Amino acid sequence: MTTNTLTRQTVTVKAGTLHDLITGATIAADSSRDAHARLAAVYLTAEGGKLTAAATDRYRLISGTIELEGGELSHSAITLHDIKRLTALIKPYAKISGATVTIEKDGYTLTVTLNGDTLTIQSLDYHMPDYAHMVSDNYSPIPSMSLNLNLLASFAKVPHDIKQPAILGFIGENKPVQIKLAHDLIKWDALLMPMRTA
């Protein structure tokens, strides 16, 4: 565990965009009964003018990033229980163009405000496992790959432009499949690990 000594931080984002971002990342979080807390969470981070939501269950990873006008948010691990509460708050405003969500962080406490309603969430002291080295656009042909079709199908639930094709990129044997999904505002990085065969 690390100690969070950061001061108060604030970000503001459109309700519909945040709803899509969280909905997409949540698909890869581990929702099994015996899930480790570090994997049964969605991670929010805002730095360098970008807000990222990411989650992984070791087999899938989904990370979505949007552009922000400003603000920062240190790594915040949010339990799936609190993600459901957050989604319930945002969903009624997701299709209202002018609706915005403000997230303020003080220590480990996140205060989410939308249209006068406030939700308080305690973030966990975890960091998303590093995955940048696993994301690649350098595809290579491979003879075959074994995949879990149920896990592959779950990526269809990530909010994306259904009129655009999903691109599956292969970067090598026993390497994660790179899944590219189109969205007007979100850059999705999605990974699916291959299955082991006997």
Instruction: Kindly list the domain boundaries of the chain, sorted by start residue.
Output: 9-122, 132-192
What CA–CA distances, in Å, run from 35 to 14, 21, 73, 141?
31, 22, 26, 34
Q: Give the tens place of pLDDT for each residue, 110-133.
A: 999 999 999 999 999 998 888 888
Which structure tokens are listed for 140? Answer: 């290579």
Task: Write down the pLDDT at residue 149.
Answer: 94
Rounded distance between C-alpha atoms, residue 114 and residue 117, angstroms: 5
Task: Write down the pLDDT at residue 69.
Answer: 85
Rounded distance between C-alpha atoms, residue 93 and residue 88, angstroms: 10
* DSSP letter string, 155-187: GGGS---TTSPPEEE--STTSPEEEE---SS-E
**Highest CATH level, class, for 9-122:** alpha beta
Task: Write down the pLDDT at residue 10.
Answer: 96
Task: Write down the pLDDT at residue 198.
Answer: 61
The segments of the chain whose pLDDT lies below 70 read: 1-6, 198
In sign, the C-alpha dihedral spanning 158, 64, 146, 127 is negative
Task: Write down the pLDDT at residue 6.
Answer: 52
Task: Write down the pLDDT at residue 1.
Answer: 43
Task: Write down the pLDDT at residue 70.
Answer: 87
